[in-house]
Structure 1
Amino acid sequence: MAKKRVFISFDYDNDEGAKIMLAGQAKHEDSPFDFKDASLKEPLTGDWEAKVRRRMDNIDVVVVLCGEKTHTAKGVAAEVKIAQEKGKEYFLLAAYSDKTCTKPTTALSPDKMYNWTWDNLKILIGGGR
């Protein structure tokens, strides 16, 4: 089975460490996904959304890493909205088990937040939601 190509949406100011750990899991021998860093480190200006749209053209699923301040992260909200508009699969993943993680403002009411475990991640990437 081909590995899924993943786009990770996260709050760059608060959850970069969690993103690095998630990207590291792609290197596991039994990983069901490949990750290429599509993070934009520049402010949300100019053609930022156009760049995200192009990057999402070549992915299979969007993993939305949710931290304590995700509800205030405008970039994450925009990325989720773009994923929805493009009809891309996405799911919300709690970045921390010991903190209260919040959903992006553009998450839909039925969007469930899942616990981040290796077994859960493999199921979710495979479409089990």
Structure 2
Amino acid sequence: MTTKKRAFISFDYDNDEGAKIMLAGQAKLPDSPFDFKDASVKEHLTGDWKEKVRRRMDNVDIVIVLCGQKTHTAAGVSAELEIAKEKEKEYFLLAAYSDKTCTKPTAASASDKLYEWTWDNLKTLIGGGR
């Protein structure tokens, strides 16, 4: 069996926590290609929170950016994406809702595609198919 990728989930805590809980739950499925390792926090961590996020990202293989309706206004998500890019971590943007308009964080590149959240897509994206 292949080793599961350790994932950091970046998300808008105020608006998309329910979607994050569902995504973390999918990591527990028997055929999941990833383990939920870490995620955004509500309060900016005490001290230099960005430094703490950097350290957390040292322990992950991939960053999943969960995009909801207000992700473009979530400064923390953009900061986390910047850190992921700086650390050259693999990442992808995942639409948190199929029935709502999801937005990208401001730190996303124009070429960053927003992927539909399906189980098959998730497995392909984590496997490097983008």
TM-score (norm 1): 0.96
User: Structure 1: how far apart are the matches of 2:48 and 2:54?
Assistant: 10
Q: Cα distance, 1:43 vs. partner?
A: 2.9
2:85 partner letter: Q
1:1-129 correspondence runs (5 A):
1-43=2-44, 46-129=47-130
Percent of aligned positions that are identical: 80
Indicate conservation of the 8 Å contact 2:37/2:60, yes or no.
no
Aligned CA-pair RMSD: 1.1
2:69 partner letter: E
User: Structure 1: how far apart are the matches of 2:36 and 2:46?
Assistant: 25
Deviation string 1:45-93 (CA, Å, 9 cap, x unpaired) is 6311000000000100000000000000000000000000000000000
Q: Cα distance, 1:44 vs. partner?
A: 6.2
TM-score (norm 2): 0.96
Unaligned residue ranges in structure 1 (runs of 5+): none
Unaligned residue ranges in structure 2 (runs of 5+): none
Q: Cα distance, 1:40 vs. partner?
A: 1.9
2:90 partner letter: E
User: Structure 1: how far apart are the matches of 2:92 and 2:108?
Assistant: 9
Q: 1:38 to 1:82 in 2, by over 3 A?
A: same
